[in-house]
Amino acid sequence: MRLRLNTLRIITLLIFVSMLVRLQDLQFGPDAATSRTQIEQVTTRIDYTAPRRGEIFASDGTTLLAASEPVSIVAVQAELLPTKRLERAAVFMRLSSLLPFTDTLTITPTSALKTNPALAGAVAQLVPILPADIDFSPGHAVTLTVPLSQSLAALELGQVYSDVITLNPGADKVLRDADLPPYLLVPVATNVPRPIALALRENSAVLPGIKVVEGFNRTYPQSPQIPSLSHMLGYIGRVTEDDLEQEQAGPPTYLPNDIIGKDGVELEYEAVLRGVLGINQIEVDAFQRTVGEPQVMRPLKNGSNLILNIDLDLQRQSEEILHKWLTIADQRRISLASQNTPIGQKIATYPPITKGVIIVMDVNTGAILASVSLPAYDNSLFTRPLSQADADSIFQNPDAPLFNRAISGHYPPGSTFKQFTAAAALRNGIITPETRFMDLGKLVVRNKYNPDATNTYPNSNSHAYGMINVSDALMVSSNVFFQTVAGGTDYVINLGPNDPTLEDGLGIERLHAMLVNDYGFGQPTGVDLPDEVAGLIPDPEWKRDVQRKTVWSVGDTYITAIGQGDVQVTPLQLLRGTVATATSGKVYEPHIVKAITNYSRTQTTTIEPKIEHQIELDPAYWAVIRDGMRRSVQDPRAYNRAANASNKPAGDILAAIDRFNLAGKTGTAEYAENGVLRSHSWFVGFAPFDNPQVAVLALLEGTGDVGDGSGTLALPAVVDVMRAYFKEPVPDINGSIPAASAPPQPPEEQAQR
């Protein structure tokens, strides 16, 4: 007995000594630091507080375009859930009694329904109609959907028959699909009604791990009625692994379940709209209960708001106007395609006309007042889970509604480009305002390397305009004049012996330099939107490197000078270049955002206009270019006036052109589609001529052949936008003024009122 007692004492002493040694090792040994860190991680927790995303307003500063609406969110913190399967399922099934999750239960084996009448009766009360194809043979299982409002009954059934029934709560599936660290709150339900949120908070004791937090829901209140806003606003979506990998070292900016801007200003101004994630360190006990005051590691900062330059009413009307003229163009397509003529047979191959762009810019600031790209999409669809039909309408649509043609589409500009060729020729002394060349309707050019071969470069209508100067050439849109200026007449063989000639001409090097270095073509404009493309101004180096052709011919220069061939510009680039013409050389960085405010809107930072540079050109030269553009729509001899004299959908367009004192340039730009040569319709102009305020561009894709689209579709579309800008009524598709709108009054009557 004594020996056994002494042996027990020795064993106890050895255990005590070994514990002391282990304790000393934990405190002072080589792994002491790691052990202390592990202990500290157990007793402290890092909590994150998401900032409220800044909102986006129209130019009036009050109309919401993107709102952050406060909502109650139910989230799950997995590390606080019960570890036992049945207890965990009980939490989720209780949650389902308040929120509509899709819960299921699995019976294994199904033969228990045959051998246990009590089980079969209980299941029948829960799910009255069982699937007809149940296999009751041993080893098989069946999964049944729990009817809504029956989650608590299913929970009771699962607890009573836990040996054969496994509960599969819908909320648990959401949590597992999220696959996020257990310390993070994973949202499982948003827009939770206030009574349910209160009930969940009151029953938190039986719902461990279930949290009700305040969050926000992004909405785009204007987009369903004005879908073209979506290209500028963009949309939001869940942060991706790529987004998280791009973060720099240090405290996180995003959590794996955060949202982030995906397009438009939502993406471009993400850092401004996002705000700063709040990080707190909280001491907790073994039961995860807070035992001390939170230590702020990084304070929460809500995002800032954006005020755009977009005039909402002008945006809405511009979208309606573009729809109107695309509809008119398609009606012409259908009518022409029904005619048994060569042009009718060609147009019969055209698909419906649905694509176009309108942009409005303040010529004194570079501010974009409206920007419409059609087809468009409704970014409100991205604020909720996309249905398959919605996803197909966006992502499978061959018309690519997500594509912002205003900044990402690149097109040949056609004759709208002639204003820039004129400026290059004038600045380089190739011509003066008085210089005249003979326009015989075409240039016939001898091939430098094969004297027996010739190439012909005609005017668009093959009309001969005789002796003309640069202002005349802009008025009548003479290809011959600008090709002569750009490439010279060294190889031209159809001029008379007394007709003026021009050795060499401007040449591609000087033309390319002015287009790229002065006007900014061939490079992004710097607009505050993502995915802007650079466009292309070809030159011999590009032709050699890209096309693998070593010879740049005079024909290449001719084609480039009139905005055809390989020239590619975006609508925004073309509008900015025209604004430079209107302002005697001011090249602006276009901007969508007007101002930034803090979230409470007590502090405002205005985005000042940015002039990238000033194009140096004699004021007299600017004046003659502008005068040619004015004459192209105002001179009684101008084709555009004759073409629109009976253009019924345009209303009294000639009076409107004169009233606004409009100046501008049409363009019909050829391109190939499915082996068929088609053309786009352009018009870009500014008003009033003597003191420009606004510039407007219209592009109607594939409409150049449907009744001179540039003159009778694009030009009237711009005039309609000018009407909207100057607060005049816009004619409907039949040319009628809406009954609620008063006709424009003479200036003196407006002054009296």
Read off the pLDDT of residues 415-451 as tens digits, 9 standing for 90 and up: 999 999 999 999 999 999 999 999 999 999 998 888 7
What is the CATH number that goes with domain 414-569?
Answer: 3.40.710.10
State pLDDT tens for residues 699-748.
999 999 898 899 999 999 999 999 999 999 999 999 998 765 555 554 44
Tokens linked to 247: 């973060």
pLDDT given for residue 38 in this prediction: 45
Taking residues 679-702, report their average pLDDT. 97
For residue 477, the Cα-to-chain-centroid distance in whole angstroms is: 35
How much of the chain exceeds pLDDT 90, in percent? Answer: 58
The ranges of the chain annotated as CATH 3.40.710.10 are 414-569
Rg (CA), the chain: 36
Taking residues 156-171, report their average pLDDT. 87
Q: Would you place residue 534 in the very low, low, confident or very high pLDDT band (cuts 50, 70, 90)?
A: very high
The ranges of the chain annotated as CATH 3.30.450.330 are 312-404+639-752
Within 179-303, residue ranges assigned H as helices are 194-202, 230-233, 241-245, 264-268, 270-274
Task: Say if domain 102-114+122-168 classifies as CATH 3.10.310.
Answer: no
State pLDDT tens for residues 457-513.
999 888 999 999 999 999 999 999 999 999 999 999 999 999 999 998 999 999 999
For residue 543, which phi and psi values (nearest 5 degrees)? -60, -40
Residue 247 clears pLDDT 60, i.e. is over it: yes
The number of residues making up the chain comes to: 753
109 upstream amide cis, omega within 30 of 0: yes
For residue 369, which phi and psi values (nearest 5 degrees)? -90, -25
Task: Say if domain 312-404+639-752 classifies as CATH 3.30.450.330.
Answer: yes
State pLDDT tens for residues 258-271.
889 999 999 999 99
Taking residues 615-623, report their average pLDDT. 97
Measuring CA to CA, how many Å separate 172 from each of 94, 106, 296, 671? 12, 15, 32, 56
Torsion-angle region of 354 (φ positive above 0: left; ψ -120 to 50: alpha; else: beta): alpha
Give the pairing of strands 593-597 and 305-308.
antiparallel
Query: What is the side-by-side strand order in the sheet with 44-49?
Result: 44-49, 278-283, 295-298
Q: Would you place residue 618 in the very low, low, confident or very high pLDDT band (cuts 50, 70, 90)?
A: very high
Tokens linked to 411: 């097109």
Measuring CA to CA, how many Å separate 695 from each of 28, 285, 622, 630? 77, 67, 16, 13
Q: Which residue has the tokens 């959908």?
A: 649
Q: Would you place residue 387 in the very low, low, confident or very high pLDDT band (cuts 50, 70, 90)?
A: confident
